[in-house]
Structure 1
C-alpha cells in the first residue's frame, strides 16, 4: 500500500509563492498586535503583511500562503498551520508552542531567536534554512526536510527526527540530546562539537559500521 506524503501547496523549486485563492488575498496590511485566537483561514494569502506581536492561540490556517510577512515577536500557541507556504518571511523572536505545521514549507526565510516547543512539525520543508541558534524542544519532526539546513549551536532536544532528511545539514555545536537520530548519516553532515547522549553515540557508531561492546 502506498502512503501519500503530506506536502506544502507549492513545489520546492518554484520561484513564486502560490496564491491558492485570488479572492482571499490580504496584501500590504498592518496587523500589528492582532489577536487571532480561534479564527480559521483556509487558502488565504498574506502578502507583505506586518504580523509583529500577533497572537494566534487555537487558530487554524490551512493551505495558506505567507509571502514577505513579518512575524516579529509573534506568539503562536496550540495553532495549526497545515500545508502552508512561508516565503521570504521574517521570524524574529518568534515562538511556536504546541502548534501543528504538518506539510508546510519554508523558503528563503530568516530565523533569529526562533523557538519551537512541542507540537507536530512532521513533513515540514526547511531545506537550506538558516536555523543557527534556534531552539526545538520536544517537537515531532518526522520526515522533515532539513537538507542543507544550518543548525550550528542550535538546541534540538527531545525531538523526533525519525525519517528526516539531514543530508548536508550543519550541526556543529548543536545540542541534540534526547532526539531521535536514527536517520542521520554521520558521513554526510557536520557534527563537530555537537552534544549528544550515550544512546545517540551508540546509534552514530553503528551508522559508521562500528561495533559497540
Structure 2
C-alpha cells in the first residue's frame, strides 16, 4: 500500500452487528469502525468522511449514491458487495478482499488500490482517474467504460480482463501484463502507439 497517514478518528464503534441495517442519509465523520459487521446493509446516500474501517465485513451490502471520502479500509471484506453511483474519492484499501465486487458508475478517483486482489470484480462506467492500481491483480476483472486517465498501473496484471470502452493511460501500458485482455479497436490503436508502432490506414 502506498504510504499514507491514517485519518485521525474522534469516535469508535467496535464489534457491533449492523447486519441488515438500513443507512439512509446518515453522516459519519472521523469514526473508527473496528470489526463491525455490515453484511447485507442497505446504504442509501450515507456519507462517511475520513473514517477508518478495520476488519469490517461489507459482504452482500448494497450502497447507492453513498460517499466514502478519504476513508481507509484495512483488512475488510467486500464479498458480493455493490456500489452504485457512489463516491470513494481518495479512499485507501489495505489487505482487503473484493470477490464478486460490483461497482457501477460513481467516482473512485485518487483511490489507493495498490496490490489489491480485484480478480473477478466488475467496474462499469466508473471514474478511476489518478487511482493507484500499481501491482493490482485484475485477472478476469471487468473494466468497461472506466476512466483510468492518469492512473498508476505499474506491474498490474490485467490478464483476460475486459477493458472495452475504458480510457487507458498509454504511458503506463508498457508496465502492465495484458495477456488475453479484451479491448476494442480504438484501444488497440492506443496500445499500438504505446509500443512505438506507426499506425496507418
Same fold (TM over 0.5): yes
Separation in 2, partners of 1:144, 1:19: 19
| Alignment equivalent of 1:145, drawn from 110, 118, 132 | 132
| Alignment equivalent of 2:8, drawn from 14, 20, 24 | 20
Separation in 2, partners of 1:18, 1:181: 30
Answer yes or no: is the 8 Å Cα contact 2:170–2:194 preserved in 1: no
1:36 is paired with a residue whose SS is strand
Answer yes or no: is the 8 Å Cα contact 1:42–1:62 preserved in 2: yes
TM-score, normalization: structure 2?
Answer: 0.96
TM-score, normalization: structure 1?
Answer: 0.91
- 1:104 matched to 2:94? The reply is no
Q: Which runs of 4+ in 1 moved over 6 A?
A: none
Unpaired stretches in structure 2, ≥5 consecutive residues = none
Deviation at 1:69, TM superposition (A): 0.2
The two structures, once aligned, show a CA RMSD in angstroms of 1.4
Separation in 1, partners of 2:170, 2:51: 30
Q: Deviations over 1:165-197 (max 9, x none)?
A: 000000000000000013453321111100000
Q: Partner of 1:164 in structure 2?
A: 151
Answer yes or no: is the 8 Å Cα contact 2:7–2:71 preserved in 1: no
1:116 is paired with a residue whose SS is strand
Q: Partner of 2:188 in structure 1?
A: 201
Deviation at 1:136, TM superposition (A): 0.3
**TM alignment of 1:36-185, pairs within 5 A:** 36-183=23-170, 185=172
Unpaired stretches in structure 1, ≥5 consecutive residues = 1-10
Q: Partner of 1:7 in structure 2?
A: none
Judged with a 3 Å threshold, the aligned counterparts in structure 2 of structure 1 residues 77 and 199 are, in CA distance, closer, same or farther, namely same
Separation in 2, partners of 1:212, 1:205: 7
Separation in 1, partners of 2:166, 2:7: 36
Judged with a 3 Å threshold, the aligned counterparts in structure 2 of structure 1 residues 177 and 184 are, in CA distance, closer, same or farther, namely farther
Separation in 2, partners of 1:138, 1:26: 33
